[in-house]
Structure formats: structure tokens, C-alpha cells
């Protein structure tokens, strides 16, 4: 009977093959109030920021065991959902609890602000580029440049920063 139980436990642990830091859901003293990268869980920081390997935003390590009924999903394949932690059958990534973090709200607000300001600056550029008759062509080109610069450098700057980090770290965010 004990050998059957040991075989069952060994099979269960082999089939689940959790990510080494799936312990992030447990209230361990070393991870309370720390941040980690979803793609590189070995990256742990005391404060929020970006992962030095891939540029993704660091997430707060949960300090409580998830409540019963928590749905786990793959960050890359949201259609994969189950009621317990494990690995994605498509890509093998660890499934994460499906929650909304209050801390992500600041990043969402920042990106939303950049989107709407970038859109407001882009609309006049689009109108001028389509052939505006009331502004001279040379002035139109200069005005388009002035309006487009903040859109590219400020609103789209995060893409340049993360692309550069991906090149420097030789991690193009297409594999684990």
C-alpha cells in the first residue's frame, strides 16, 4: 500500500513539473514584499522595476496561498485555464493565478495616458500628411516632425527600451 502511495506521489510530481519558483504562492519569509519577473523568476528585487534580462515589468510575489476557486492561466496562451497550478500544455510555461493586481494599475494608467496623448498628436499629423491646403508644405513638414517626435520618443519609448534590452541580453522574448 505504501509503495502504491509513493508511486502515486512520484507520478503526481513528475506530471506537474512546476516551475522552480512556483513557491511564490506560499508565504515564505524570503519573498515577502519582493518583486520577480514572470519570465525569469530567478530575478528577484526589493522594489518594482523592469527585468534586466527581458525588460518585462517585475511583479509583486504573492505572499498568500491563493483562495480556493482560483483559476490559473498561461501568460502567453490565455485560452489555457485550469483550477490548479501547473504548466501550459502548449509552451510549458508555469500557469499563473488569474488576478488583477492593484500595483499594475499605475502602469496601466501611464500607458493609457501615453496612448491618448500620442493619439491626439497623431491625428493632426495624419490630416497634414493627407494633403492639407491651408498650411504651406514646408511648414507642414516641420509641424509634422514636431508633433511626431513626442509620439515616437515619449509614447513609444518603452518599445525602444525593451527592444534594446532584448538585443543586449540576447533574449528576443520569443522563447522561455
Collapsing DSSP states into helix, strand and coil, what is residue 50? strand
Q: What is the pLDDT of residue 99?
A: 67
The answer to whether residue 51 scores a pLDDT higher than 70 is yes
Q: What is the pLDDT of residue 121?
A: 94
The answer to whether residue 175 scores a pLDDT higher than 60 is no
The answer to whether residue 104 scores a pLDDT higher than 70 is no
* DSSP classification of residue 62: P
* DSSP classification of residue 96: E
Q: What is the pLDDT of residue 1?
A: 47
State the residue for C-alpha cell 493565478.
97
The answer to whether residue 152 scores a pLDDT higher than 90 is yes
The answer to whether residue 105 scores a pLDDT higher than 50 is yes
Mean pLDDT of 83-111: 76
Q: What percentage of the chain carries pLDDT values higher than 90?
A: 14
pLDDT in tens, 9-36: 444 444 444 444 444 444 444 556 788 8
Mean pLDDT of 132-158: 88
Mean pLDDT of 114-139: 87
Q: Which residue did the predictor score with more confidence, 64 or 140? A: 140
Strands (E), the chain: 35-36, 44-45, 59-60, 72-73, 81-82, 96-97
CA 48 vs CA 45, 60, 83: distances in Å: 7, 8, 28
* DSSP classification of residue 176: -
Report the mean per-residue pLDDT for the chain.
Answer: 75
Q: What is the pLDDT of residue 102?
A: 55
Q: How confident is the model at residue 159 (pLDDT cuts 50, 70, 90)?
A: confident
Q: What is the pLDDT of residue 72?
A: 85
Amino acid at each position: 500500500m505504501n509503495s502504491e502511495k509513493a508511486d502515486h506521489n512520484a507520478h503526481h510530481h513528475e506530471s506537474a513539473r512546476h516551475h522552480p519558483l512556483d513557491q511564490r504562492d506560499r508565504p515564505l519569509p524570503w519573498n515577502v514584499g519582493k518583486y520577480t519577473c514572470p519570465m525569469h523568476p530567478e530575478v528577484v528585487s526589493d522594489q518594482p522595476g523592469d527585468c534586466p534580462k527581458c525588460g518585462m515589468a517585475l511583479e509583486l510575489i504573492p505572499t498568500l496561498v491563493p483562495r480556493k476557486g482560483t483559476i490559473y492561466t498561461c501568460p502567453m496562451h490565455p485560452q489555457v485555464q485550469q483550477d490548479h497550478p501547473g504548466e501550459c500544455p502548449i509552451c510549458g510555461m508555469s500557469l499563473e493565478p488569474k488576478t488583477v493586481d492593484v500595483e499594475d494599475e499605475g502602469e496601466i494608467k501611464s500607458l493609457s495616458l501615453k496612448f491618448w496623448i500620442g493619439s491626439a498628436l497623431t491625428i493632426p499629423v495624419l490630416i497634414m500628411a493627407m494633403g492639407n491646403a491651408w498650411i504651406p508644405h514646408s511648414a507642414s513638414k516641420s509641424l509634422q516632425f514636431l508633433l511626431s517626435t513626442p509620439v515616437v520618443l515619449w509614447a513609444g519609448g518603452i518599445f525602444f527600451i525593451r527592444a534594446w534590452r532584448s538585443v543586449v541580453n540576447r533574449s528576443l522574448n520569443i522563447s522561455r
